[in-house]
Amino acid sequence: MVGTHKRTFLVTGGSGFIGSSFVLQSVMSGHARCVNLDKLTYAGNPLNLEALADHPDYTFFRGDLGDRDLTNGIFRDFQPDAVVNFAAESHVDRSIHDPGVFIGTNVVGTWNLLDETLRYWERLDGERREGFRFLHVSTDEVYGSLGPQDPPFHEGTPYDPSSPYSASKAAADHLVRACHRTYGLPVLITNCSNNYGPRQFPEKLIPLTILNAFQGKPLPLYGDGLNVRDWLYVEDHCAALRTVLERGRVGHTYNIGGRCERTNLDTVTTLCRLMDELFPESPHRPHESLMAFVKDRPGHDRRYAVDCSKIREELGWTPSESFESGLRKTILWYRANGPWVKSVQSGAYRRWIERHYGFH
């Protein structure tokens, strides 16, 4: 991106887990102004960006990324230098129960946003047009599942998604790429591995395990617990996104990962050990005794692993947090943020846990 003025980002899904981390870092560091467009689904939480409520470099619109009147008005009024597209339905298990909403947001919504972005970008000229970027935040799940000996996913790995979630993200990636090849829109795509850290909605493995362990509830492991994920601390992901936005090559894809492959059994065991250490007075020690093997997820991808040598060699990005240090920070964040936890464990959350796991 060119120019030295403070840039304005239109961030979609900025009230969710990764988007809020990106907005907080971008605004607090003085790096950019952020206009956050978020529908505030169950996964979007206004508390995530409460710290920015009165900040002059932060503006919030509640709405759908596919609402063309709304995005058109934001483009007109804020003249963003980049769009950073986080907004999505993001949970594989929910996509199995209710795939339609994933197609609506992740595919149709992304298309509407792309089309409005194109109209805006085509009217820009000179340096503003040259420097504009559409950064689409995607997942390694589009590549499908690896066998134990397979090399990690690289940018040229063919797409082979397994779940309605990953299939909808794959479709969106294709649309973003098509807008570049067909119309010249200056896009960037990132495909990242599993994130963890503060403010993640507790339907995902790591926050679910932490919060259940606090309360002495079962820690559910699907199947044999030996599925492998590659974990990355959320702030490392956001640093990678800023790097790609600044210096990534237009039209290119960058894979982002933590080089931290762990079986789910390892991950939950490590969490239990850390919680035993951090909370010696807990009545639920040893936390491992709470682990419970439950029915497997249909179409459960066996292994994800990301080769991130392109972003490392081309742009110099590497993760800075280790798995243990990141997990410690995460556990302590959930311990210190009782009001946040209470706000997300609403009746709707309890109904999801009951429907999906059959316990309260």
Interface residues with ligand NAD (CB under 6 A) are 12-13, 15-19, 38-41, 43-44, 64-65, 86-90, 105, 109, 137-139, 169, 192, 194-195, 201
Determine the Cα angle at 89 with ends 103 and 244, to 5°.
105
The active-site residue out of 64, 81, 141, 321 is: 141
Q: Could you say whether residue 262 binds ligand TYD (CB under 6 A)?
A: no
- Residue 200 sits in the site that holds ligand TYD (CB under 6 A): no
Decide if 140 is catalytic. Answer: yes
**Across the strands, what pairs with 12?**
37, 85
Q: How many residues form the binding site for ligand TYD (CB under 6 A)? A: 12
Which of the following is catalytic: 120, 143, 165, 254?
A: 165
Pairing relation of β-strands 187-192 and 194-196?
unpaired
- Please report the sign of the dihedral spanned by the C-alpha atoms of residue 348, residue 94, residue 240, residue 272: positive
Cis before 151 (ω within 30): no
Q: What gap in Å lies between CA 238 and CA 320, rounded to an integer?
A: 12
Taking CB under 6 A as the binding criterion, the range among 57-65, 113-121, 202-210, 333-341 that sits at the site for ligand TYD is 202-210
Q: Which of ligand TYD, ligand NAD, none does 185 bind, CB closer than 5 to 8 A by kind? A: none
CA distances from 23 to 169, 235, 256, 306 (A): 22, 11, 19, 25
Q: How far apart are CA 37 and CA 55, in angstroms?
A: 16
93 closest CA partner among 28, 166, 39: 166
- What is the C-alpha to C-alpha distance for residues 27 and 125, in angstroms, rounded to an integer? 26
Residue 92, binding choice from ligand TYD, ligand NAD, none, Cβ under 5 to 8 Å by partner class: ligand TYD
Does 222 help bind ligand TYD (rule: CB under 6 A)? yes
> Which of ligand TYD, ligand NAD, none does residue 17 bind (CB under 5 to 8 Å by kind)?
ligand NAD
Considering CB distances under 5 to 8 angstroms, the limit depending on partner class, which of ligand NAD, ligand TYD, none binds residue 71? none
Q: Which parts of 290-319 interact with ligand TYD (CB under 6 A)?
A: 297
For 348, other C-beta atoms within 10 Å of its C-beta total 9
Task: Say whether 141 is catalytic.
Answer: yes
Regarding beta strands 261-263 and 228-233, do their DSSP bridges make them parallel or antiparallel, or are they unpaired? antiparallel
Query: Shortest distance, CB of residue 157 to ligand TYD, whole angstroms?
Result: 17
Is the separation of the CB atoms in 265 and 303 below 8 Å?
no
How many residues are recorded in the chain?
A: 360
Encoded one letter per residue, x for contact with ligand TYD by CB under 6 A and - for no contact, window 17-36 reads --------------------
Query: Is 204 among the residues that bind ligand TYD (CB under 6 A)?
Result: yes
Cα 310 from Cα 238, distance rounded (Å):
17
**221: contact with ligand TYD by CB under 6 A:** yes
Stretch that binds ligand TYD, among 179-187, 222-230, 254-262, 333-341 (CB under 6 A): 222-230
What are the residue numbers of the active site?
Answer: 140-141, 165
Binding residues for ligand TYD (CB under 6 A): 92, 194, 204-205, 208, 220-222, 227, 229, 264, 297
